[in-house]
Structure 1
Amino acid sequence: MKIESSLASGRELASERGRPSTKKSRKRRRRPGSMPGLVQRLFETCKEVFADGRAGFLPSPEDVVRLRSILDNMNASDVGLSQNMPYFWNVEPQGTPPITYLHLYECDKFSIGIFCLPPSGVIPLHNHPGMTVFSKLLFGSMHIKSYDWVDVPKYSNDVINPAHSVQSPGVCLAKVKTNAIFTAPCEASILYPADGGNMHCFTARTSCAVLDVLGPPYSDPEGRHCTYYNNFPYASFPETAVLVPGEGEGYAWLEEREKPDDFVVFGAKYSGPRIMER
């Protein structure tokens, strides 16, 4: 956040009134540094919550509450964003508009970043292997659809579904976790390595911004690849039904795919409050 102007005006005021000497004025001078901003508090809390840093790590319920409470109190102004920025303009007359990513911080244990979506922007269906993810909608409205694997090991990129994989390799059964429209202000959502909606898709109904915390972040060398999926209605493969007839509602078949050609993400410089490493 650009605070230079407010600091300058404070110095001018002190100069006009003379050197402050009272206990009250000394407290006033210390106050700006006594309470870190929300971005700094988020960073410091992430350092504590994700100190373990390993894939598949689950934060304690108390740590989840701590981190979520910070995110729930954040909005666009806390990270230096406003809806009239070019990131949120849809300049594409047809097709899917590009998305902008603002990088705040990343280490081998966690990452913090913001996705800026213009109206009709889409982040296609993808997974988060071995990760705990906190997502906070800072402003706007978006549709979120998410899935969990029906049969999944504790931590694996593979899904065990013998009844289906024999006839349709690469297509596995998933259960719909979320299928709803979210409008800010709303609570942060949380997903875990094997549940909570580990695979999700975002579709912007209006311009919107989503702050993501990933612990740990994606890492190709460590096997945490971002995988994209096609989704098919449960009834698409009747020859390999694994549920009792009539129970297919709320389920879908997911098939791995390459990154969609129309999913374009541009990186941009984050201009909000800086994170200070200590």
Structure 2
Amino acid sequence: MAAPVQQLATLAKKCFDKTQGSVSDELLEDVVAAMNKIQANDLKFDSSAVKINDSTGGAPVTFIHVYKNDIFSMRIFVIKPSGRIPLHDHPGMFGLCKVIHGSVHLRSFTETEEQDIQDSCFQHLRENPSVLKSVHLHQDLIVTSKDGCCFLTPREGNYHEILPVDGMAAFLDVLAPHYSQGRECHYFEELGSNVLSSDVTDVGVRWLKQIQAPSDYWCDRLVYKGPSIKS
């Protein structure tokens, strides 16, 4: 019987293959079910192999490449106690995130229809509206290795940030299609509560401002030790 990670890869390839025309809800449910079964030992992930050098300026995040083809990518991210995955987007992508070690605080946002900024302190941002995204909160929750995966679509929850809770955390990440030239990651910050939509009763509207890649986010690398994956 194929290893769980191979089963996941096979289903992801079938689900996200563009030649199928569109992503089937039934196939996506199969991918989510396979993702939910993945545990750290299925990937031969050893948390003791991760170097934590917070006091000496070590990388706040460790990246482990698992697999990549023309359709999707699979990676493991290890967030060290003082690290984070900053708020970022996934242009036109589906994404699944399964915690395999520790727990994380995940916040995600869904883009809304464009609205107006009323607060005078932020009127200068209207001159460059491409750097602003009007969003509402999609999820704000603690996720552990005992929980099922979280996932995003090109529309729902496409902006998210991930922080570790009570120590180091790790998660398996599947993106379809993956980041590539022409499909790049953008980083954002949430503007203050004094930025309001034209409908002042809509307290759920928030604004994200595009920023440069945060200086406190970079990765070192570890070699994947788990089962090989065949295309």
TM-score scaled to structure 1, two decimals? Answer: 0.74
| C-alpha separation in 1, matches of 2:67 and 2:175 | 11
Moved over 6 A (4+): none
User: What is the CA–CA distance in structure 1 between the aligned matches of 2:56 and 2:135, rounded to whole Å?
Assistant: 31
Q: 1:260 to 1:167 in 2, by over 3 A?
A: same
Distance in 1 separating the partners of 2:219 and 2:102: 19
1:140 is paired with a residue whose SS is: strand
Q: Give 1:168 shift.
A: 6.3
Q: CA deviation at 1:219?
A: 1.6
CA distance in 2, matches of 1:236, 1:244: 11
Q: Partners of 1:149 and 1:276 in 2: how far apart?
A: 36
Q: Does the C-alpha gap of structure 1 residues 97 and 265 become closer, same or farther in structure 2, counting only changes over 3 Å?
A: closer
- Are the counterparts in 2 of residues 131 and 214 from structure 1 also a CA contact under 8 Å? yes
State how far apart, in whole Å, the 1-side matches of 2:46 and 2:33 are: 22
Unaligned stretches of 5+ residues in structure 2 = 118-124
Taking structure 1 as reference, are residues 72 and 42 closer, same or farther at Cα in structure 2, changes over 3 Å only?
same
Shift of 1:268: 2.1
Q: Is the 2:136–2:205 Cα contact (8 Å) retained in structure 1?
A: yes
Contact 1:117 1:207 in 2 (8 A): yes
CA distance in 2, matches of 1:194, 1:52: 17
Match of 1:20 in 2: none
**Residue 133 of structure 1: SS of its match in structure 2?**
strand
Q: How far apart in 2 are the matches of 1:106 and 1:119?
A: 28
Relative to total residues, which structure has the larger strand share, 1 or 2? 2
Question: Structure 2-normalised TM-score?
Answer: 0.88
What corresponds to 2:191 in structure 1? 232
Partner of 1:208: 169
Corresponding letter in the other structure for 2:220:
F
SS at match of 1:103: strand
Counterpart Cα distance in 2 of 1:74 and 1:62: 19
> Are 1:115 and 2:77 an aligned pair?
yes
- Structure 2: distance between partners of 1:131 and 1:168: 25
1:51: how far off? 1.5
Q: What displacement does 1:96 show?
A: 8.7
- Aligned-residue CA RMSD (Å): 2.1
SS in 1 for 2:9: helix
Deviation at 1:124, TM superposition (A): 0.1
Q: Give, in whole Å, the separation in 1 of the partners of 2:53 and 2:72.
A: 33
Change over 3 Å in CA distance of 1:190–1:58 after alignment to 2: farther
* CA distance in structure 2 between the aligned counterparts of 1:96 and 1:58, rounded to whole angstroms: 42
Alignment of 1:247-266 (within 5 A): 247-248=202-203, 250-266=204-220
Distance 1:79 1:173, change over 3 A: same
Could you tell me which residue of structure 2 aligns to residue 48 of structure 1? 14
How far residue 60 of structure 1 moved from its aligned partner, in angstroms, is 1.2
Q: Which amino acid aligns with 1:243?
A: D
Q: How far did 1:95 drift?
A: 7.7
